[in-house]
Structure 1
Amino acid sequence: MLELLRKNIFLIVIVIAISIFLFFDNDEIEDKASQSNSASTSSTTDIPKEKIPVQPSTVIIDVKGEILKPGVYEIDSQSRVNDVIQLAGGFTESADQTMVNLAQKVQDEMIIVIPKIGETLAVNEQNGSGNSKVKINYATQAEIEGLNGIGPSKAQAIIQYREENGFFKSTDDLLMVPGIGEKTLENFKDDVQIP
């Protein structure tokens, strides 16, 4: 009987030891998990506010040309050119609506010029003679096509790049447009105005 009691005590001690080990090990795992969760939460909430770029909620746009109410307008920064045109009363009857990208996102200090029908031909001829430069950040596709060595596909690539990446800051930025190399840029560099 004493022998049986010793065997049972030995088994009871082993079971108690295993239970204590599992209990403390489980608590340690839970502590590590809660510390990990709190560390990941604090790392996302402790981001300094200076590092997060702040977009203005509104932008100021100058609308000119063949528009019913030309002027300077303040509009939500997520708006499109079409929204500004509507705010300015819409196009006049003589406006060439094909010369403006209505889907383009607005940007602060943007100038939108709506030409008269047929007016762009005179502008392109003037650019070709060297009397005036193409404002590449605001130019329509037809104006860009008036540049030496630029056809419809390259003009569209310039406009698309400008819409997706923002205004060009220097003429060398045009080299980032697909299809524009150094040789092509040399052909029209002097006919382009950046600011």
Structure 2
Amino acid sequence: MMKKRYLGIVCLITACALLCCGCGDKGTAILIGETKESADVPAEGEQEASRASGQAGTAAQSAASGETASEARDTTIRVYVCGAVANPGVVEIPQGSRVEDALEAAGGFGAEAGREAVNLADWVSDGQKLYFPKEGEAVEESQAQSDSASGLVNINTADAAALCTLPGIGESRARDIISYREANGGFQACEDIMKVSGIKTAAYEKIKDKITVK
């Protein structure tokens, strides 16, 4: 009887010793119902912090991208280039560009371009239309602008409406002036207008200070 009681006490002490040794390593303990992988998952608070950090980084990248796009829009302009150029159309060039830059973006002059008609050193602005005339158009346009600036009517290039602004010149006389210059290659001097039927010295005196043949 004593022997059995002794054996029971020894078993109890051994069981307690084994139990104490198993509880000593708390660092590697895994709760019942979870795996090693789930034990490594960050706590909910840590996950929220990580998501917030990621969203902040994405927002910062989007803002930087938006600023870059805005800066690009602010530093470029769009200009409509047409007429005697290689590739007419809307071109995009840097802000602060000149006409020559817009021309280059449109492929350069066309074969029939009047190359001296447009001031290539002039500045251009956003939304501007640049027309490059052909060679024949260039001469006429340049001359018309010069005559308009001087306030004189060029009897070699003026149309009927412009000729009718001269004192004593009506539609019929304007047609006569145009017919004469077409038949004779133009007027060499202002006085030659008196060679037109119906225009004599008295009529010439009224208009001589208002006409030119340049």
TM-score, with structure 2 as normaliser: 0.34
Does 1 or 2 have the higher relative contact order (CA < 8 Å, sep 6+)? Answer: 1
Output the TM-score relative to the length of structure 1.
0.37
When Rg is computed on C-alpha atoms for both structures, the one with the higher figure is 2
